[in-house]
Copies of this chain bind each other. A is one copy, B any other.
Amino acid sequence: MNLDVVYSILTKNDYKLTKQRKVLIDIFIKKRDLFLSVEDIQKEINKIGINLDLSTIYRNLAVLEDSNLVCKIQNGNSNLYKIRTMKKHHHHLICKKCGKAVSFEYCPTDTFVRIAEENGYTFTDDKIELYGYCNNCKNNL
């Protein structure tokens, strides 16, 4: 998922390539492995001497979500975002300390469908999140 691909997807979906949007995407690419809070994102943007209004960030996160360019997970009472690096259906293994994530494909869908059916449900979708401590963090908790 590089800049050009992201830009062309947005353009294809009739979204303008604004300065703000580009800045946000830059941050996501720079931090491609991390799940970031909205606050993290704003701080990262501030670090490069720019400020985007929170409403702008939120609106652009919605745009990126709409174009399937980011993954979103819920954390406490807020959300975390990460640029999507894997096209296929996948899930995440996330570091509880730093938010570093690994995407993985493993998904026992057949079993999930079976569990649903056994209970009279029609299966629609699954969510798996694995948590742990990454290489770096496990050594300095």
Residues of A whose CB lies within 8 Å of any CB of B are 74, 77, 79, 93, 95-96, 102, 104, 106, 108, 111-112, 115-116, 119-135, 138
Query: Are B106 and A130 in touch, CB under 8 angstroms?
Result: no
Q: Interface majority SS on A: helix, strand, loop or mixed?
A: strand
Which of these, B111, B133, B135, contacts A124 with CB under 8 Å? Answer: B133
Residues from chain B with a CB closer than 8 A to the CB of A102 are: 115, 119, 121
Residues from chain B with a CB closer than 8 A to the CB of A134 are: 119-121
Residues from chain B with a CB closer than 8 A to the CB of A116 are: 93, 130, 132
Residues from chain B with a CB closer than 8 A to the CB of A123 are: 130-132
Query: Are A112 and B124 in touch, CB under 8 angstroms?
Result: no
CA distance A133 to B121 in the complex (A): 5
